[in-house]
Amino acid sequence: MPSVDDLFTPVDELRLTEPSYLRNSPDIGLNEATTAFSQKTPVMALDEGSRRVFGVPPTYQMVGEVSNFGISCHLMGITVEGHAKAKKVAKHLAARAMLHKLIEKGQQSEFGIPGETKEEAHRAVDGLAFGDVRIESSNEDPVLSVAQNENYPGKLQQLCQRNKFEIPQYSYGEEGPPNDRIFTTTCKVGGQEAVGVAKTKKASKNIASQKMLAIIEKGIVEMNEEPDLDQEVDDDMNPVVDGVQCSKPPGSDAMAVLTAILADPKRFESPTQEYRILEKKCVFGLTQCLLKISYCKPGEPSQSRVHHVFPGSHTTEEVAGLINCKVAASQLSCCRDKPDVDRTSSTISVKTVLRSHFHSLKETIIECTHYQVGWWSTMVLSTKLVRRASKFIPKVTRIAIISSANFATQTDQSTNLKEVLAKKIPAHNAKVKEFRQQHGNTVIQSVSIDMIYGGMRSMKGMVTETSVLDPEEGIRFRGHSIPECQEKLPRAPGGEEPLPEGIWWLLCTGDIPTESQTSAITKEWNARADLPSHVARMLDNFPDNLHPMAQFVAAIAALNNESKFAAAYSRGVPKSSYWEYAYEDSMDLLAKLPTVAAMIYRNLYRDGSAVGVIDPKKDWSANFCSMLGYDDPLFCELMRLYLVIHSDHEGGNVSAHTSHLVGSALSDPYLSFSAAMAGLAGPLHGLANQEVLLFLNKIVSEIGFNYTEQQLKEWLEKHLESGQVVPGYGHAVLRKTDPRYECQRQFALKHLPKDDLFKLVSTLYKITPDILLAHGKAKNPWPNVDAHSGVLLQYFGLNEMSFYTVLFGVSRALGCLSQLIWSRGMGLPLERPKSHSTEGLMKLAAAAAKKS
């Protein structure tokens, strides 16, 4: 811990006055960015920072005054004061003054205060909120900015329903002692967030809802502006254009008929079709989709007109339907015998088609215009257009080119994982229902007595959608092998290994995610990462001799008080929506696990040093590495690989099966995964890589690193003849080298080929399988994942073997929790197999013998 003299020069008591740099500056509004610092109060920010940097909290004392309250704040020899008409306000003003002093003393970065300059840091501190008020200046007594009798959550809900926006989602947090609680509510609509902080949960929710109302109302005003669409298309949106020849023969499809008419050489000479599909998403779940189709006769000037024809709003699914139902085809279809017919009257068919597809759309939204200029026809379909200048539009998405006479439905590019699951789960359940109706009584396996006594090994008794373990190919995540995942899944900028966020999306949906979908998971995990204060205190108070896995299990279980699933079940939500709350808990838990694991590591092996704060610019693995204290980019790459390959391994292993079993009783994800981690802590499941390292160290201690291949063979022979095993070799299911071993070996060959311990592992890989086969010691003599992982971790300095299982647990959460979401989504029942006594099995065996 740094000494006082290293940090500060003691000064006399200071009274808080308005900083000079603010006296002539405009008011600085509350920073809505989702950074950890901006969402805290001054007292919270100072308390957390001082504990992290100095290991002690600040102290406060009352200062007697007649007209108002005075609070003095003391920290490491520095004293400052805050004065206001309310005691709590005075305390926050004192804390804010101390933060300003810390900035002046050069402690900005240590306390996590954002800003590249001191002035920016000072402004960040003055932007901190106190409950339901803004602290404007030291000589002001803040007032409530929200009228508590207003029902802003209700108004927000009505506004979202009226405009077909996403329903508001709320998440809650609380800080401080029981007598001084501060509640934080985060309100999300689409991609926008608003935060409310207050002394009560209800007030914080009201404030967050009021802020979100202001954001949405401002966005609606901007959306209602009539932009120049020609300018939007030409300058802003840069659409994809595909010019194709109309050559498709006639068919039953209206567009095909039209194509054939236009392609008739007796009427036209090589007329062209041009399609433009433009899509732009705004944060409220709305989509602006512009579909333009033009036909022009050769020799005549090509005309380009774009018209705003739908003054309403539609979801992405509705836009896809608009394209798919070929409205343009019916609109532009013409009679072969009457080429001069006025086709403007055909608009009525467009309304009919639209209404048949979208019963919920109001008639006022269904408007369409058709334009006819000689032989040139164009029709434009568009939903609500949002100006690019609006801050609510993050980017423009170009839709794939549509080929001639074919309107294809676009792949769902939503970055909202919950939204994607909401489509996939019902479709999957319908498929399962049909399958069970047809094959429900089909027998797939006979169960032997040996299977029952043998731990049900190889018994087929579970449904797991996320991964399948093939004896010859190894693990496949949703049908993709590990090499395929390494090739297809998104990577960090400049990285070579797949991101765990990508494997999470794949396990949950079965789809290879895009970079934007992967980034959305990163952003959401970073936003959900804050650890409740009671869990942090519990971890800090654990004894040094408590095993890391025991701490890990306890901390996960202690997060149960934040369970949205448990709360929803208590409210009596329908069974069909269980998966939604399991999803929310799973996302929250995954976001917090790296912080939990890092606190355990720091407390046990780094003298309790602080883990720091989540960097919103970093991915899940990079933040985890930073909190552990490792900033080597290559170690981050290893961690990404490690977390991906250990993520899932079917549903029958101890941790996955435990999670499924406990979850089948409708225990929430926190309790289910805590139980899973208790199983992982067992020596037969999660301690194998430690045993491998101990085994390697034993070899080195007896024959050193200067061994010959023959010496190593003799040592192994002697080791096996003594009745011992070779840890890291063999597998209950696999009958070849574990692909997870192979990818770690490739990483080592590329990045640490000269490491002595890696060379030992490589030599063992070369000679051990033949020796095991000769001794008849294993059905599968090939190495598994545990034969290599410890060596890589030690190379980068992570030598604490008792912590390795915690790393394994962080990774395995990806598999267990994705399985849990699908178990609740599929409505899988309570797991309740039948058991038998030995006497009962003997009777069954005797009865079977008589029948044969």
DSSP annotation string for 220-233: HHHHTS---HHHII
Residues 6+ apart with CB under 8 A from 528: 171, 587, 588, 591, 592
Of the candidates 126, 585, 786, 788, the residue annotated as catalytic is 786
pTM: 0.56
Residues in the chain: 852
Q: What is the per-residue pLDDT for 778?
A: 66
Condensed to tens digits (0 to 9), the pLDDT of residues 707-751 reads 999 999 999 999 998 888 888 887 767 678 889 999 999 999 999
> Which amino acid is residue 645, in one-letter code?
I
For 519, the token pair is 């980034």
Do the Cβ atoms of 385 and 220 come closer than 8 Å?
no
Of the candidates 100, 480, 731, 788, the residue annotated as catalytic is 731
> Which amino acid is residue 760, in one-letter code?
L
Phi, psi of 83 (to 5 degrees): -130, 135
Collect the ranges in the chain with pLDDT lower than 50.
Answer: 1-34, 65-66, 132-148, 222-411
3-state helix, strand, coil in the chain (%, to 5): 50, 10, 40
Alpha-helical runs (H) found in 274-342: 316-324, 327-332
Q: Are strands 14-15 and 78-84 parallel, antiparallel or unpaired?
A: parallel
Cα(47)–Cα(59) distance, integer angstroms: 9
Q: Which of 738, 737, 728 is nearest to 804 (CA)?
A: 728
Q: What is the per-residue pLDDT for 728?
A: 87
Q: What is the per-residue pLDDT for 736?
A: 81
731 catalytically annotated: yes
Q: Are strands 480-481 and 474-477 parallel, antiparallel or unpaired?
A: antiparallel
Of the candidates 74, 547, 685, 751, the residue annotated as catalytic is 685
Distances (CA, A) of 140 to 43, 87, 133, 135: 18, 13, 11, 8
660 catalytically annotated: no
Cα(477)–Cα(739) distance, integer angstroms: 12
Name the β-bridge partners of 470: 474
Condensed to tens digits (0 to 9), the pLDDT of residues 68-102 reads 678 888 888 888 888 877 778 888 888 899 998 88
Q: Both ends of the chain: CA-CA distance in Å?
A: 78
DSSP annotation string for 716-733: HHHHHHTT---TTB--SS
Cα(504)–Cα(510) distance, integer angstroms: 10
Do the Cβ atoms of 254 and 218 come closer than 8 Å?
no
Three-state SS at 25: coil
Question: What torsion do the CA atoms of 5, 9, 11, 15 make, to the nearest 10 degrees?
Answer: -100
For 810, the token pair is 């962080």
Q: What is the per-residue pLDDT for 221?
A: 54
Neighbour tally for 840: CB within 10 Å = 11
DSSP E strands in 336-451: the ranges are 370-373, 376-382, 397-398
786 catalytically annotated: yes
Q: Which domains does the chain have, with CATH numbers?
A: 4-134 (3.30.160.20), 152-223 (3.30.160.20), 229-398 (no CATH), 449-685+802-825 (1.10.580.10), 689-798 (1.10.230.10)
Q: How many CA atoms lie within 13 A of 657 on its CB side?
A: 12
Cα(239)–Cα(242) distance, integer angstroms: 10
Q: Is 674 exposed, middle or buried (0-12, 13-18, 19+ CB in 10 A)?
A: buried
Three-state SS at 816: helix
Cα(146)–Cα(141) distance, integer angstroms: 16
Three-state SS at 456: coil
Number of H helices, E strands in the chain: 32, 18
Q: What is the per-residue pLDDT for 52?
A: 81
Distances (CA, A) of 73 to 123, 186, 285: 20, 30, 46
Cα(404)–Cα(605) distance, integer angstroms: 65
> Which amino acid is residue 201, in one-letter code?
K
Do the Cβ atoms of 589 and 673 come closer than 8 Å?
yes
